[in-house]
Chain A
Amino acid sequence: MGQLIVRRLIFMIFMLIGLMAIVFAISNIAPGDPARLAAGPDATNEMVERLRVERGLDKPIVTRFAVYLSNLAAGDLGTSLHTRRAVVDDLARYFPATLELVLFSIAFAVLLGVPLGMAGAAFQNKIPDHSIRFLAVSGVALPMFWLGLMLQWYLSLELDLFPLGGRLGIMTPRPETVTGMLTVDSLLSGNFGTFQEAVWHLVLPSLALSLPALASIIRVNRAEMLETLNKDYILNARAQGIGPLRIVTAYALKNAILPTLAMIGLRFGWMLGGTVLVEGVFDYPGVGLYATKAAVSSDFDPIIAVTLVLGASFMLVNLLIDLTYALLDPRVRSQI
């Protein structure tokens, strides 16, 4: 197992460098002049020239890439024009919020998606199955941002069940930052009131963010469960008189969950992208909102940094998914 991790980590480093190359290419080969992009729209010409020299943007592309990598290594991701702060500090402040939202959403999608997928298989072609399948097909088709607006309108405004947005009431005491994730920090500092309010604020955004993932997990898990339940070893298990509950939740699910894992990994990545939409609707101060604000005022450094961070986290997730896959499937485990 250790050997797999090492090999994958080395491979990931190459992927990361590749990611930086692509992101670097976007900022340089794009028709826009990189110096003007970095300086921002309201910079004067001589400011742009000064920046060009300062950042060595006039040198050939290869050296510029080397300079770019060394800056990254030194943690200098540039400064944001619209927050007037170093991008690194912004990321430190905003990324934990996005991470909390995405983890919350993927947990919701999996904890609801897998059972519903199983139920869809159990009630095949009955009413519950049709409704679950309709939810699955629409879930993928519903625009996340529009769904967020409708949830906000109905659940928050009309029924006043949930707050409109943000992460916490202004005057609610904030737990001291350990992980930057409010739910975790408030639990660590034992402040249950804040924890409840933090979860409270997470419900609607994570509902909007997780629906497409929930839909896909249902579809994949339902198909896999159907296929697995027809397998011979299930017939054998039933022939031995093993109880249906054990057959479904263990014998079948452990096999069906493997391909579903791949979908969970893929959907986690799309969710990272989806934060760009959902955080805007709910004014949720994460990297998604940070990136869109930067994009609208063509403030370039933050967008590049956020792309890097989200890309890297998606790679990490893919690695974790592969590891769990090896953990669960002995046939794969024995090959490494």
Chain B
Amino acid sequence: MTLAESTVPKPMGTGPGDDFIAPETDVAPVDRFREYRRMWATFRRSHSSMAGLFIVILFLLIALIGPWIVPFPEDALGSIHLDRKLQPPNGIHWFGTDEVGMDIYTRVIIGARTTLWIGLTITGLAILIGVPLGLIAGVSNTWIRETIMRITDIFLSIPGLILAVAIVGALGPGILNAMIALSLVWWPGYVRLVQSKVLSVRNETYVEAARSIGASNFRIIFVHILPNCMSPIVVKASMDMGMAILAAASLGFLGLGAQPPYPEWGAMISIGRNYLPDWWWYSLFPGLAIYFTVLGFNLLGDGLRDVLDPKQRS
């Protein structure tokens, strides 16, 4: 925010050529979409946000129509062709083949579907657990809030990945257990976010006004407080999609996530590492896939935050 903006107020849209006799102030019709159009204008202006949006849309597309556009669909289900193993990227196999002849391009594309499913489930579960708890903690100021917030603090004080490894260690390796573990690790973030938002919104004047005219607690939460929490939740959700995908891939890399022959990027890299440096393509392409997907979600998250939640700058 440079000096100019701080001292000179935003001019009100009158331009040259207006009749120099003072114009009467007409009240423009309330334009419900004006706010969204303004957001889209600011969003569109930042290249990084648009890049993020493009990557995410591409990723969703690949995840949706993946199985129908891949050259070797059966490879994703584990059918092996040992006679064409470890081929470098070529005309047929764009990303080369792995150690048992499966087409890596196919497995990366199908992997996108797995990754989307993982990201959505983890973020979804985390929101389902975290947001209600956050609301309850925010609204009540009795011991309920204290217990919820203390438990949240404890969870947040454990590095997420090691807690996930511990939970998967107990439940046993596998993609479902990995997702449960990561959801258990992820919800505290939303509790803290929603709780702080609710606290700040709670003593806003319009909420007191609503309460004063007898609005029920329930109505206040869902009509006044929750809508205000939506924008930070949306921002955090889009950032979390990226981070959840990264965390799930990490568990896959440790051999605790998806089990063979399931096409999951992290697991592919953990096998692919055995084939560096001579068969570099085996671990390069899944790694790039993770990087671009997570980058896309991060950029989108940044863009949304600048538009939806400008105050939350850093």
Point out residues on A near B: beta carbons under 8 Å. 14-15, 18-19, 22-23, 26-27, 30-32, 37, 133, 137-138, 140-146, 149-150, 152-153, 157-158, 219-220, 223-224, 227, 230, 235, 259, 263, 269-274, 276-277, 280-281, 288, 291-292, 294-296, 298, 300, 303-304, 306-307, 310-311, 314-315, 318
Contact = CB atoms under 8 A, between A and B. Distances in A.
Given A143-B246, A276-B165, A311-B159, A19 B154 contact: yes
Contacts of B276: 149, 152-153, 157
A300 B291 contact: no
Contact of B171 (A31, A158, A270): A31
B273 A269 contact: no
Contact of B158 (A19, A146, A227, A296): A19
Interface stretch (B27-35, B100-108, B204-212, B253-261): B253-261
Interface class of chain B by DSSP: helix
B38 to A, nearest CB: 22
Given A22-B154, A291-B162, A295-B254, A30 B302 contact: no
Interface in B156-171: 157-163, 165-171
Given A143-B291, A146-B283, A153-B280, A273 B170 contact: no
Query: Most A CB atoms within 10 A — which of B154, B166, B168, B250?
Result: B166
B249 interface: yes
A98 to B, nearest CB: 11
Given A146-B291, A311-B158, A314-B157, A295 B283 contact: no
B151 A18 contact: yes
7 contacts: A19-B157, A146-B269, A146-B290, A277-B253, A280-B253, A298-B173, A315-B157
B283 A300 contact: no
B213 interface: no
A23 B250 contact: no
B294 interface: yes
Interface in B287-314: 287, 290-292, 294-295, 298-299, 302, 313-314
Contact of B295 (A137, A263, A315): A137
B172 interface: yes
B287 A149 contact: yes
B256 A296 contact: yes
A53 to B, nearest CB: 21
A223 B313 contact: yes
A142 B250 CA distance: 11
Given A223-B313, A314-B159, A141 B250 contact: no
Contact of B169 (A137, A269, A303): A303
Interface string B244-285: 001001100111100000000010011001001100100110
B83 to A, nearest CB: 28
Contacts of B2: 230
A315 B157 CA distance: 6
A314 B158 contact: yes
A323 to B, nearest CB: 16
A269 B154 CA distance: 13
